[in-house]
Structure 1
């Protein structure tokens, strides 16, 4: 299903700036039994990205009504767990890159089935490759889920060609950042590590929830710049995103990991 500004349709204007330039942002949400999981966090991430892009704030009263209609339409098909994507474009118009004389922001909403293989990933873990292509440094947009995801597309294609389901992604400085689709955490002895995302990468909603959960138990977390050899020394590794939740990683390239107690504990707390 596909909605534009609350109306069911299958097309957008050719002058839409997200189509032309990737000018906008999005968030992908999990719906469980008719309710969006961690909805407030998704609202905040959209608001933060729109502010960074200097796009007019979203009318959440209006957008929430549209989201409810989309959820109801999918739920009629007896779907109790599925994905929901909220996409915001700056709008249509403007000359070249200039955002002057652009129409109001356009909101697109779509739904999709919950990936059935995620259940196996939760239980058995995920095996990852390593991307040879590297993320550039972009402090203006780092952390945000803006609509231009060309780097992730190239890296996912690299993993597809290598017959890997996903891969660890480094930046051009050699720092571990994420996978092509998820954030990364790992444990070495009694310390948890995760990359800082001030120069590249996406700061996911589930990453935020994991950091909050670890803080509530006074688990020591170090957020910083780490190279691949530091990740490969881990006692356990896991990945997070809003649809997947938390899944253990059992291999990165040729290094294998056991599924650890921190991963299983967080799964019990946060997986839907």
Structure 2
């Protein structure tokens, strides 16, 4: 593993550039502290191993902490890209070339605060996710499906989209996971065939288990969403985002109470408070 300088040029033989051969994680930094850092490291390590990419998580954690400590106290987004290295033309990797790690800094999407206050408005994406169990759950660098979905979101003036697989099962949002309350307990789609296992999703599953209120993981359709009492979408930047409306096109719309996701929000807030207490 080799951690590149921030201004390092991307080689024409970079495997992430050529084939999307890599993984990444998107971090929310506040006050020189990465929220959910332990889950980010666990996720990127799992995903790299799943693709056979060498990664030293101890060195990576040290590099992230050093970068954040020297970057300033403002709120921002830090992306960590892990590439399978450089290689010649062709799909086979060069075993002599190390994996490459890059950091990139981006503005925090401040509009999330307004969306959270009023509740997100979703569409049902026409673009379906292909089923590929070997890549399911991994945040890999092949994101063309999400590019197409985001175009739909923009063209239809929505905040996000409910995304389905090719069997019409609910999977996720365009850049986050989905949770809904069915009147008995919270549920989230299983990710055995596609989708990204987000860090907030992983944390909420763990925290709910510890609270002895486990979240059900299963296979769901739009009919399950239509009968839900509450719906939220989650990721590392938006946290727990309430959904108030899903537009169904000619079929009308679904409406939800935007305040019923407060329990999940409180679980995540507790994690942030614990991190703040442990931060020195």
**Common fold by TM > 0.5:** yes
Structure 2 counterpart SS, 1:84 = strand
1:251–1:257: 8 Å Cα contact kept in structure 2?
Answer: yes
Q: Which moved more, 1:242-251 or 1:64-73?
A: 64-73
- The CA deviation at 1:266 is 2.2
Say whether 1:203 aligns with 2:197.
yes
SS in 2 for 1:63: helix
Structure 1: unaligned runs, 5 residues or longer: none
| 1:255 to 2:266 alignment | no
Report how far residue 22 of structure 1 moved: 0.2
Q: In 2, Cα distance between the equivalents of 1:25 and 1:245?
A: 21
What is residue 187 of structure 1 aligned with on the other side?
Answer: 181
Q: Which residue of 2 is the match for residue 60 of structure 1?
A: 57
Per-residue CA deviations over 1:34-64 (Å, capped at 9, x if unaligned) read 11112111111111111111111x2234323
Does the 8 Å CA contact 2:20/2:141 hold for their aligned counterparts? Answer: yes
Distance 1:101 1:266 in 2: 44
Cross-structure match for 1:167? 161
1:231 maps to which residue? 225
1:130–1:168 contact (8 Å) kept in structure 2: yes
Over the aligned positions, Cα root-mean-square deviation in angstroms equals 1.7
How far has the Cα of 1:232 moved from its partner?
1.4
- Is it true that 1:158 corresponds to 2:152 in the alignment? yes
Counterpart Cα distance in 1 of 2:200 and 2:121: 20
d(CA) in 1 for partners of 2:70 and 2:175? 27
- Alignment check: 8 A CA contact 1:87 1:107 kept: yes
CA distance in 2, matches of 1:39, 1:259: 28
TM-score, scaled to structure 2: 0.89
Residue 74 (structure 2) pairs with residue 74 (structure 1): no
Which residues in structure 2 correspond to 1:1-272 (within 5 Å)? Answer: 5-9=3-7, 11-56=9-54, 58-75=55-72, 78-79=73-74, 81-101=75-95, 103-253=97-247, 254-261=253-260, 263-271=261-269, 272=272
TM-aligned CA distance change 1:225 to 1:32, over 3 Å? same
Q: Is the 8 A contact 1:94 1:102 kept in 2?
A: no
Q: Return the TM-score normalized by structure 1.
A: 0.91
**Structure 1 residue runs of 4 or more that deviate by more than 3 Å after TM superposition:** none
CA contact (8 A) 1:90 1:102 kept: no
Report the number of matched residues.
264
Moved more, 6-15 or 143-152: 6-15
- In the alignment, the residues of structure 2 paired with residue 121 and residue 70 of structure 1 have an alpha-carbon distance, to the nearest angstrom, of 30
Q: What CA deviation, in whole Å up to 9, does each residue of 1:182-216 have, x standing for no partner?
A: 10000011221110001000010100111122222
Contact 1:6/1:66, CA 8 A, preserved across alignment: no
Equivalence for 2:276: none
Q: Note the residue ranges of structure 2 that are not aligned, 5 or more in a row.
A: 248-252, 273-280
